[in-house]
Amino acid sequence: MFLLIDAAPQSARATMAAIAEHWGDAARITLCADGRRASQYLASGAFDVVLADMASLSGLGNGHEDAFAALSQAASGALVIALSDSGSVSSAVAAMQAGAHDFLTRPLNGRLLALRLEELGQRHGKARAVACEQSKGSDTDFEGFVGSSPQMRAIYDQIVRIAPSAAPVFITGESGTGKELSAEALHRRSPRAKGPFIAINASAIPRELMESELFGVVRGAYTGANEDRMGAVAMADGGTLFLDEIGEMDLSLQSKLLRFLQTGTITRVGDARVHQVDVRVVCATNRNPMQLVTEKKFREDLFYRLHVLPIHLPPLRQRPADIVPLARNFLLRFAQEENKRFEGLTPEAADLFIAREWPGNVRQLQNLLRRIVVMFDGGMVSAEMAMAADIESRTAQPVVPMNGNAPGPGQRILPMWQQEQRIIEEALDAFGGNIARAAAALEISPSTIYRKKTNWDRGAA
């Protein structure tokens, strides 16, 4: 639902035509001519987007800064877009410093406006702004993924582009973001799709067994080696080898992995023969790889050998538009498995899901929906049902407070870069995603936040 503030009939008609061109009858537009009337509308109804002509904000304060500050406060939960016929840099800066989420120059294009609103909705975590996304393809299913947010469409595009290559792929992202799903998608889209896909988790195999699991072993090589056995690399010959949690691999084994990558050959434990293999390597970690290199826990030469085609999977909290489609998808799947009938989510439940941070990402959301289906009989999933099944929020360990006190029993300390990220994200949430105001409150430069957000998006803190 749009609120358009524009005192000029001609430009107002053009803007409404641009909105209708894209959203059609689904677009509900309220037009008013000044800031005073706009504040009355905002007090009586919920809007997803407020489009405000910079020359039409009379009654909201003295000057653009006061007017947009008042407008942003009144438009809680909505995206505020400043409009002007000129692309004045100073006007744009003034509007955004005062609380506007973006500045656009007229005439507007409906499709470009929709893409911009969608991007802003993801960046600022606006729950209601999700309703302003393009309606088509909202539940896009790509190789097992569900979601059509700009971030995920970029991931799909990356996978399509790099799948035909034989070069190594390095996937980063928090636990539960779909790293193995990405590796499988790369394999299915590659010329090796008819070959094997072999996955091995470096953190789940004991250190002393990892080499034989990876490269194989011959009979009698050590106590318990009663027969010749192929390793994961040999089994993946002609296909794809996925090395999950590669940051947990022992340094001595990292050197042998590097030799395999350089030569394309392997030697089984206890064997003198060298075997040639043709394998594409895809690896993943939920940790910051550059931090591991700095801490001497990951070989720098191995990192650059593997980090040829990087993919960074965004956490679920950074793509709220995908939360409800994912929840519906899991709900239908688990309801079918349990022979129950669930109709969907109530608006209150959807808002509750969107507002959650989801530290366990998609896997945590999946677990919650399974519990809901098991615990309840069917119908619409309500907020009360979701809260009753949300075990993690009740049992999660508290993070150590930032007050200089030593952590108490049961508390854990997050790494510095994660604490810094959380502080900045909380400040952005407090100011509705306005980087300039968040930076001022934190007493840092806005460019620092821009730089760090860019690094997080690329997988480096």
- What is the full DSSP assignment across 416-444? HHHHHHHHHHHHHHHTTT-HHHHHHHHTS
User: What's the first-to-final CA gap in the chain, in angstroms?
Assistant: 37
pLDDT for the residue numbered 398: 44
Same domain? For 183 and 216 the reply is yes
In this structure, the answer to whether residues 292 and 342 fall within a common structural domain is: no
Do 123 and 235 sit in the same domain of this protein? Answer: no
364 and 453: one domain?
Answer: no
- Predicted confidence at residue 93, as pLDDT, reads 72
Q: Do 302 and 320 belong together in one domain?
A: no
Q: Would residue 407 count as lying in a domain? A: no
**The predicted structure's pLDDT at residue 166:** 94
For residue 269, the 8-state DSSP code is B
Task: Determine the 3-state secondary structure of 184 from DSSP.
Answer: helix
Whether 185 maps to a domain, the answer reads: yes
Judge if 119 and 58 occupy the same domain: yes
| CA count, 13 A, side-chain hemisphere, 412 | 5
From first to last of the 461 residues of the chain, give the pLDDT tens digit.
Answer: 788 888 888 888 888 888 887 777 667 788 888 888 888 887 776 778 888 888 888 877 777 777 777 877 777 667 888 888 776 666 667 677 777 888 888 888 777 777 777 767 656 655 444 444 443 444 457 888 988 887 888 899 999 999 999 999 999 999 999 999 999 999 999 999 999 999 999 888 887 788 888 998 877 666 666 677 888 999 999 999 999 999 999 998 999 999 999 999 988 887 778 889 999 999 999 999 989 999 999 999 999 999 999 999 999 988 888 888 899 999 999 999 999 999 888 888 888 888 788 989 999 999 999 999 999 998 999 989 998 888 776 554 444 444 445 455 555 566 666 777 888 888 887 777 777 667 667 767 666 776 677 666 655 44
Q: Say whether both 59 and 148 belong to one domain.
A: no
Closest Cα partner for 190 from 280, 305, 313?
A: 280
| 18 occurs within a structural domain | yes
Same domain? 159 vs 178? yes
Q: How many residues does the chain have?
A: 461
Looking at the fold, whether 269 and 326 belong to one and the same domain comes out as no
Give the pLDDT score at 348. 84
Number of domains making up the chain:
4
Structural domain containing residue 334: 316-395
Looking at the structure, tell me whether residues 278 and 246 fall in a common domain: yes
Report whether 277 contacts 237 (CB < 8 A): yes
Instruction: Judge if 173 and 70 occupy the same domain.
Output: no
| pLDDT score at 124 | 61
268 and 327 belong to one structural domain: no
Task: Return the beta strands (E) in 236-324 as ranges.
Answer: 240-244, 265-266, 275-276, 280-285, 309-312
pTM given for the model: 0.61
